[in-house]
Structure 1
Amino acid sequence: MRIEHLTLPVSDPTAMAGYFQHTLELPVEHDRVQLGWTTLQLLPAGGLPVGGVHLAFNVPHNRFAQATAWLDARAQRQRNAEGQQHFTFGGRWDSESIYFTGPDGLILELIGRRRLPGSERRGAFHGSEITCISEVGLPAASVADVQARADAVFGLQPLSPPTPRFAALGDDEGLLIVTDATRRWFPEQRVLPNAQGLHVRVSGVTAAAAVLDDAALGWCVQSE
Structure 2
Amino acid sequence: MKIREVAIDTTDLDAAAEFYRDVLRLPVAAEPERVTVQVGFSKLALTRGAPFDGVHHLAFGISPDDFELAQNWVRGRLDTIEFNGSDVIDGPPGWDSRSVYFRGPDGIVLELIARQADADAPASTGDAPRLLSISEVGIGVPDVAQAVRELAETYGLQAFTPRLPSFTPVGDHDGLLILVDPERIWFPTQADFPARASVAVRIDAPEDGGKLMLTAAAHLES
What CA distance in whole angstroms lies between the structure 2 residues aligned with 1:110 and 1:122? 14
The alignment status of 1:33 with 2:37, answered yes or no, reads: yes
Relative to structure 1, the CA distance from residue 179 to residue 83 in structure 2 (aligned partners, 3 Å threshold; closer, same or farther) is: same
Match for 2:118 among 94, 116, 121? 116
Deviation at 1:189, TM superposition (A): 2.6
What CA distance in whole angstroms lies between the structure 1 residues aligned with 2:167 and 2:123? 35
Q: Which residue of 2 aligns with 1:9?
A: 9
What CA distance in whole angstroms lies between the structure 1 residues aligned with 2:141 and 2:162? 17
Map 1:75-224 onto structure 2 (within 5 A).
75-80=78-83, 82-89=84-91, 91-121=93-123, 124-127=126-129, 129-194=130-195, 196-215=197-216, 218-223=217-222
Amino acid at match of 2:114: G
Amino acid at match of 2:221: Q
Identity of aligned residues (%): 32
The alignment status of 1:56 with 2:59, answered yes or no, reads: yes
Q: Which runs of 5+ in 2 are unaligned?
A: none
**Which is worse superposed, 113-122 or 100-109?**
113-122
What CA distance in whole angstroms lies between the structure 2 residues aligned with 1:4 and 1:32? 12
Root mean square deviation of aligned Cα: 1.7
What CA distance in whole angstroms lies between the structure 1 residues aligned with 2:122 and 2:57? 29
What CA distance in whole angstroms lies between the structure 2 residues aligned with 1:122 and 1:136? 23
Relative to structure 1, the CA distance from residue 117 to residue 140 in structure 2 (aligned partners, 3 Å threshold; closer, same or farther) is: same
What CA distance in whole angstroms lies between the structure 1 residues aligned with 2:9 and 2:166? 25
Q: TM-score, structure 1 length as denominator? A: 0.91
What CA distance in whole angstroms lies between the structure 2 residues aligned with 1:146 and 1:59? 28
Contact in 2 for aligned 1:150/1:212 (Cα 8 Å): no
Q: TM-score, structure 2 length as denominator? A: 0.92
Deviation at 1:170, TM superposition (A): 0.4
Contact in 2 for aligned 1:137/1:195 (Cα 8 Å): no
What CA distance in whole angstroms lies between the structure 2 residues aligned with 1:142 and 1:27? 36
The count of aligned residue pairs is 218
What CA distance in whole angstroms lies between the structure 1 residues aligned with 2:108 and 2:207? 30
